[in-house]
Amino acid sequence: MHERQFRRDSLLYLSQVISAEEYEKSASQFIQKKSGHQNTQNSISSTKIQISNLQQSVLDLELQFLQQKENQIISLKESIEAFLAQAYLWEQNYLLKSPFAGKVVFSKIWTNFQNLSAGDIVFTILPNEAKKEIVARASLPLVGSGKVKIGQKVNLKLNDYPFQEFGILQGSVQEISAVNDGENYTVLINLNQSLQTNYKLKIPFKQNMLASAEIITEDLPLVARFFNPIKSLFLNKQ
């Protein structure tokens, strides 16, 4: 608009319609307007550059935030895993747990702040659910162990109850461990008549009852000496 006005004034000046003073005034106004327009364009360009820089800064900050968030999440997960690992170690080292509910029976007198060593028997659990089967745990020597099969009959002679007077408990091989401890396999024996002997006598249940076992193989009875035969494992039936 200002440029068209200046062109008209130029033509009028050349036609001597307007004076030189008026022409100079028009030229001065045109130069001022053109300069102001150029300044405005420069300001707009500068503002666009600033906006672009700010947008890039926002993207950089968002990326930095996401990276920090991911690092914090990873650090938190590692801290949780480390805590759970320490809690598990503490539980294994200091917490006494039972796989089933029952009554705690102490085998000897303990006092507060008494030190315990690994392997010490602190107490025994009498299970609440007495209807589950009683399973004896036996130690089977490596020699001749290949003759023992699942389902074979077993005669148990309790140390506390002489078999000549009370008879024997009868059971069957329920499970044989797949690996040995270097000297023995572990054998689980299911008591067919619970704690009733072949003399029809009911043996009172006690924890950690010891006995010897005769596993009836195809050849000769194989004798295995119990570590903790009737130990109140009360395993669930599979």
pLDDT digits (tens, 9 = 90+) for 68-126: 999 999 999 999 999 999 999 888 878 887 777 777 877 677 788 788 777 677 777 76
Residue 218 has a pLDDT of 66
Question: Is there a contact between 160 and 136 (Cβ–Cβ < 8 Å)?
Answer: no
Instruction: Give the integer Cα–Cα distance in Å for 120 and 127.
Output: 21
Residue 13 has a pLDDT of 63
Superfamily of domain 123-225: Efflux pump adaptor protein, beta barrel domain (2.40.30.170)
Residue 236 has a pLDDT of 38
Instruction: Give the integer Cα–Cα distance in Å for 233 and 215.
Output: 20
CA-nearest of 165, 174, 160 to 212 is 160
Domain regions of the chain by residue span: 2-90, 123-225
Q: 128 CB contacts (<8 Å, ≥6 apart)?
A: 100, 101, 102, 103
Residue 232 has a pLDDT of 38
Residue with tokens 């009852």: 209
Instruction: Give the integer Cα–Cα distance in Å for 222 and 229.
Output: 16
Q: Is the pLDDT of residue 38 over 90?
A: no
Question: Is there a contact between 210 and 138 (Cβ–Cβ < 8 Å)?
Answer: no
Where is pLDDT greater, at 17 or 69? Answer: 69
pTM passes above 0.85:
no
Instruction: Give the integer Cα–Cα distance in Å for 83 and 62.
Output: 31
